[in-house]
Amino acid sequence: MAAACELCAVAGGEVIFRNARLRIVLVDDANYPGFCRVIWNAHVREMTDLAIPERSALMQMVCQVEAAQREVLQPEKINLACLGNMVPHLHWHLIPRFADDAHFPHPIWASPVRQTAEDVLAHRRALLPALRAALLRHASCTA
Ligand SMILES: [Zn+2]
């Protein structure tokens, strides 16, 4: 555990699934319902700090989350990002993207280019219970 590491201190979102190695969290982002992170539990900096079977387990779980997001949300695209510049504790962002989202076609960390209609966002938020169930089902396949 590194001093003052946010992802060692807190879950990093609503924990949907957790095993000995990693956890899946749902991120509370008003513009991006269904945004998930897969976070390695131990304080590890880079993918190459993991043994090959661990890398494989992590990427398999990333793919399971992506599958659940596609199934429930049917996005235009899923963005996968492993940045860690701010929090150098290994985690993958999985962001369902839609042509009408606030930043499309740019990364969500760019400047917004529009505001998504509130009813559209409400419709996507209404899918979150189904997404939670799908995430659990998919995570159990690989865990
Ligand atoms: Zn950490």
Tell me the per-residue pLDDT of 89-109, one tens digit each, with 9 for 90 and over: 999 999 999 999 999 999 999
pLDDT of residue 142: 78
Q: Let me know: does 16 contact 65? Beta carbons within 8 Å.
A: no
pLDDT of residue 10: 95
Question: 18 CA to middle of ligand 1, Å?
Answer: 16
CATH of domain 6-142: 3.30.428.10
Instruction: Answer yes or no: is pLDDT of 57 > 80.
Output: yes
Sign of CA dihedral 115, 37, 68, 53: positive
Instruction: Answer yes or no: is pLDDT of 1 > 70.
Output: no
Question: 86 CA to middle of ligand 1, Å?
Answer: 11
Q: Let me know: does 91 contact 27? Beta carbons within 8 Å.
A: no
pLDDT of residue 2: 58
Confidence band, pLDDT 50/70/90 cuts, at residue 17: very high
Question: 114 CA to middle of ligand 1, Å?
Answer: 34
**Global confidence as pTM:** 0.95
Question: 46 CA to middle of ligand 1, Å?
Answer: 12
Q: Let me know: does 79 contact 62? Beta carbons within 8 Å.
A: no
Average pLDDT over residues 37-63: 98
What would the DSSP string read from start to end of 22-37? EEEEE---TT-TT-EE
Instruction: Answer yes or no: is pLDDT of 128 > 90.
Output: yes
